[in-house]
Every structure is written in structure tokens, then in C-alpha cells.
Structure 1
Amino acid sequence: MKRLTFAALGIALCIFITGTSIGNTFASNARSWVVRSFGGDGLQLQAGHAFVMDAATGDVLYAKNDKQRAYPASTTKILTALIALEMGKPDELVTVGAEAQPEDPEESRAGLRAGQKLKLYDLVEAALLPSGNDAARTIAVHIARKSAGNPKLDIAQAQQQFAKLMNKRAKKAGATRSNFVNPSGLHDPEHYSTARDLALIAKAAMENERFRQAVQVTGYEASPVNAGGGAAAKLSLTNTNQLLQPGSAYYFKGATGIKTGFTDQAGYCLVSSVARDGKRIIAVVLRSTSKDVYPDAVMLLEHGLDKAATAG
């Protein structure tokens, strides 16, 4: 409350001294501080953390607690999928191992079974669309063993190796306030990011053609092969991102992705994107509620489009 009172006094002071060069500079800085601290520009967000970026220019179009640590939940899989597509070939076959077994009884799964073989791209879709933790772990173990040149790495060692790859790739994208310890986003106190960092990771991912293709479909059929060599039943994967589903109340024209997320500790999260009228916007919502996460995202995407159009 005290911060809000001081902010109001600051704005009043700005108005009082408007007309001088010092006053104009002070007013501009004060407005920026209020927007960053309280989520200004008239947006009434429920999310604890938010960030909007022009994906073409990297310009910041909105920020709220964007550099504060937050738990990313399954938005983590953006980074997992990006690494898979950069370090592997979409058509290479991957054998599902014991890593596909649940680590949490309530975790989201794609329905993989040990012994099955799937194309790496199928695993990427299985991790991104239904948010399969089993697929994310299978990707991690496969890519880590491949990266280390050691197919005998056990599951724990492979996931540790993959976490190193994640942190290295995140820093390359400019995400310097994050630390990833698993490929799925299951809660761990040492697994964290920020709204700004996730936007930077998403920007890097959306520059990958196969990743863009993966996140913008409403559904996908994966074709696993059983351990004995025969074709297994196809896996029908549905995208959990309601911005992309035409029948959804939250369908957003021009939406192109990207990833949902939820844990009790993280709240409801959504990294979203839109391409419309020559503008490409990425928006991040962290720690929202089940009823507010999509309204928050829609508000941010519309705000981003408006700001980008004005700037352009």
C-alpha cells in the first residue's frame, strides 16, 4: 500500500511539473516504474508475472515482475523441444525406456510405453501438445546419451546431463536468471525461470521452423512401433492450448502457439504467440489462476499487437 501511495504522489508531482524538460523526463521515468511495478497501461492482470515482446525486434511491450523468479511448470518443455530439434534429427528413431514411468501420480502424460520406438519429432509433439512428461524425459535421456557419446548413461545421469544442456541453451538465448534441473517442469525448488527469460527462450524456439510447426497444430497422430517391431496403436495428441482451438471460448485469431503449464507451486502458466498484420508477438503469463490464465494471455496479446502497430 505504501508503494502504491508513493507511486500516486510521484505521478501527481509529474503532472505538477509538466512543461519543463526535467519534468518530462521525470514523468516518463515514473510512468515506466509504475508500469513495471504494478502492471500498468490499464491492464488488470491476475498473473503474478507477465511479459510481452515483439518477436521480430525484441522490443519490450509490457512487463510485470518480469525479472523475478517464478516456477515455469510445463512451459519448461519449450526448451526441451528446442534442444531436441537442434541436436537431433526429426526422423531418428528413439526407444522409450523406463524414464517414461510416472515420477508423480498426477503428472500429465502422453501414454508412452517402455520398449516402443518413435520418431524424435513424434516425441516433440507428445511433449508439447498434451504436455507429456513421459515424452519430455524420453527426449532428455536420448539427447543426453547422444550428446555425451555414451549410450550407457543411466536415467539419472542422462537427466543431469540434459539439464546442463538446457542451462547452456537458455543462456545462449539471453535467459540469464533461470536454472533448469529437469526436462518436464515438475516442481523442484531449484527449477525456476522468469517471465522475461521464458520469452527469450520462446523467441529462440519460434525461430526454428520445425518447432513453429509443432506448436501451432491443434492435434497430431504419433505412430509408435512396439518392441517386437509391429505397429502399435496411434497416439492421438490434442493441443492443450485453447488459444489455438477453434471451438474454444478463448480461440485467438492468428495464434501460433506456444505452451501451457501448471503445478500447484507455479499456478497456471501460458507462453503464447500470435502472428497478425505483419506483427509477431510473444506473451508470457506466470502464476495466474485457472479462470484467468487465458483472459490474461488474450489481454497481453492484444496489448502487444496494439503497441507494436503504434511503434511501427
Structure 2
Amino acid sequence: MRKSVFVLFALALLAVLGLVFQEDGGRLAAKAQTLWSRNIGGAPDLQASYAFMIDAADGEVLYAKNEKKRAYPASTTKILTTLLALELGKPDEIVTVGQEADPEDPEESRAGLRRGQKLKLYDLVKAALLPSGNDAARTLGVHIGRKTAGNPAMSVGEAQEEFAKLMNKRAKKAGATNSHFVNPSGLHDPQHYSTARDLALIAKAAMANKLFREAVLATDSVVVSAPGGSGQTVKLTLANTNQLLQPGSSNYFPGATGIKTGFTDEAGYCLVSSAASDGKEVIAVVLQSTSKDVYPDARKLLELGLGSRTTAALKR
């Protein structure tokens, strides 16, 4: 009881200070929202079970809800997959698509790759990020796994295991200490998990990579060429699944800069998003939301982080 009274007093004080010191009002109100989330019992306006938001520049925590609890990341996994591919490969190196592109699940998201096609690594990165192609993510994982092991004859399974080791090592380097990845696509596996906090830190590292950042900023469909083994060239149209970046969508968010959607039955609807305004950029993670709430959840966090809803946040 005493703790609740103290926190309510702190919220009121921060609100007053925010009004008095206008330039720090947004930061103070965001801190107040974090206090509310941690001490009063969650964020009643978010349907997501897990949420976390940071300042993209310095990593300052702006919001937290169950941020350290394990959750399934679904296709937000591909943030780490593509970051690794860009760090360990070259954008223009040619990758030959193999059997790893075959569907592992009949309902999985795909970019439309076929065995024998040859694509630039950066085009595969786009194919994994924009339409959330599991086929592209696995192709990247197998290619990088074999490359780092120095064994082009390594089996698909062995190459993916090698890549998973790289994923876990890179995640820890980013500060993600409560995650464990076993595949490059995010298809459900009980041992494939992360947290809202960890995904925000991984996204922060990824957004610092120029090529990654350019890929997730796509607002229109991207067309890439995929020459096949028979000499025929196929054009692949890669549409971004992130509605925050689609001007014609009801979920369009001016200033959105990325990042990645995700869904499995076990993970629910997930979204790692980012947006910038007046020189400030924030990264927000919502996990285990619903189909109708995942974008509203993300929007509320982005608006709060960029300062346009700080007063409303204190009034709830």
C-alpha cells in the first residue's frame, strides 16, 4: 500500500515537473509511464503481453512491461538473421538457393524462392525482411553457416546449427542475455525464445547498420532479379509487411523507420517498430498481441516515446 501511494505521488510530481520544464516534459512523462508499468500493475491500454521501448541513440529505457520474461519472437528473429548476414557477408556476393528454401511449414511466409536461383546477398536480406520470407532467411543462414565454417559441403541441418551458434553469440554481444535462437526464420520451437528487452537491443544494433536500415525503410514494393539454373531470370516482388510504413494503410505512422513484423500461433502477433521525429528516434517492441491490436499497441508506444502522448499517459 505504501509503495503504491509513493509511486502515485512520484507520478504526480513528474507530471508537474514536465509542465514546468517543457523541454524535459516528454522524458519525465515517459519515466512516469515506466514507473506506472513496473509498480502499479502493467499498462492497461496495451493488449500485448510484453512490451519495451528505448531511445535508439543511447538505449535509455522509456517503457517496460514484462520486458525480461521469455516470449516467442516469431519472424522478428529475422532482424538478427539479416544483421549477421550483412556483418559476415558482402552485399553483392552471389548466393545459390538450395533445398533449404523448400517449405518447412505449409503456411509459412515465403518470398517465392526456388532451388537453383542465384541472388545477391543483400537481395536475400530484403526478401527475409520485407515479405518476411522464411525461405530467404534459411538461405542466408545456410550460406553464412557454411561460409564461416569454411565448409561449402556442410549439410543444411549442420549449417543452420552453425548459424544458430552465431546468432546466440551476436545476440549476447548486443546485450541480449535472456535469448536462445535455434533457427534463422523464427518458426516455432520451444527452445527458440527471446524477450522484449533483448529484441529491442538487437534491433538497436541492427538499425546502426546502414544497409539494414535502408532495407526496412522501404515503403513500396522492391523488385529483385533471381536468375535460375536454367538461365531464366525471375523477377521477385518484395512487399513490406510493416503497415506502419505503408501510406495507404490505416496503420500508417508518419516518421516510421522500420522494423519487422512477426506471427506464429504460439507467439501471437509481434512487431518491432521504430520511428523518428525532431532528431529523436525510438525503438518499440510488442510481443504476443492480437491481429487487431498489434499496430495500435505499437502506435501508442511510438507516440509516447516521441512525446506526443506524454500528458495523456499521465492522466490514465
8 Å Cα contact 1:11/1:30 also seen in 2: no
Question: How big is each residue's C-alpha offset from its partner over 1:232-275, in whole Å with a ceiling of 9 and x where there is no partner?
Answer: 22100100000000000011011010000000000000000011
Q: In the aligned structure 2, how far is the partner of 1:17 from the partner of 1:247?
A: 41
* TM-score, L = length of structure 1: 0.88
AA in 1 matched with 2:255: G
Note the 1:107-256 alignment, pairs <5 A.
Answer: 107-218=108-219, 219-230=221-232, 232-256=233-257
Matched AA of 1:270: L
CA distance 1:210–1:308, change in 2 (3 Å): farther
Q: Distance in 2 between matches of 1:16 and 1:303?
A: 21
* 2:72 corresponds to 1:71: yes
Counterpart of 1:272 in 2: which secondary structure? Answer: strand
Which of 3, 7, 10 is matched with 1:10 structurally?
A: 3
Aligned counterparts of 1:244 and 1:306: Cα–Cα separation in 2: 20
Contact 2:34 2:63 in 1 (8 A): no
Structure 1: distance between partners of 2:5 and 2:243 = 42
Which AA in structure 2 matches 1:220?
A: V
Secondary structure of the corresponding residue to residue 243 of structure 1 = helix
Measured in 2, the distance between the counterparts of 1:132 and 1:306 equals 34
Residue number in structure 2 paired with 1:39:
42
Distance 1:156 1:182, change over 3 A: same
CA distance in 1, matches of 2:222, 2:235: 10
TM superposition shift of 1:15: 6.5
Give the Cα separation in 2 of the matches to 1:17 and 1:235: 54
**Structure 1: which 5+ residue stretches go unaligned?**
1-5, 19-28
Match of 1:234, SS?
Answer: strand
Residues 309/213 of structure 1: CA separation in 2 closer, same or farther (3 Å cut): farther
CA contact (8 A) 1:256 1:272 kept: yes
In the aligned structure 2, how far is the partner of 1:244 from the partner of 1:225? 29
TM-superposed CA distance for 1:191, in Å, is: 0.2
3-state SS, counterpart of residue 94 of structure 1: strand
SS at match of 2:226: coil
| Alignment length (residue pairs) | 290
Q: 2:274, 2:7 → 1: CA distance?
A: 35
Q: Is the 8 A contact 2:71 2:194 kept in 1?
A: yes
Gaps of 5+ in 2: 12-30, 312-316
Residues 208, 227 of structure 1: alpha-carbon distance in 2 compared, 3 angstrom cutoff: same
Task: Indicate how the Cα distance of structure 1 residues 121 and 13 shifts in structure 2: closer, same or farther if over 3 A, else same.
Answer: closer
TM-score (norm 2): 0.87
| Contact residue 286 and residue 297 of structure 2 kept, 8 A | yes
Look up the match of 1:25.
none
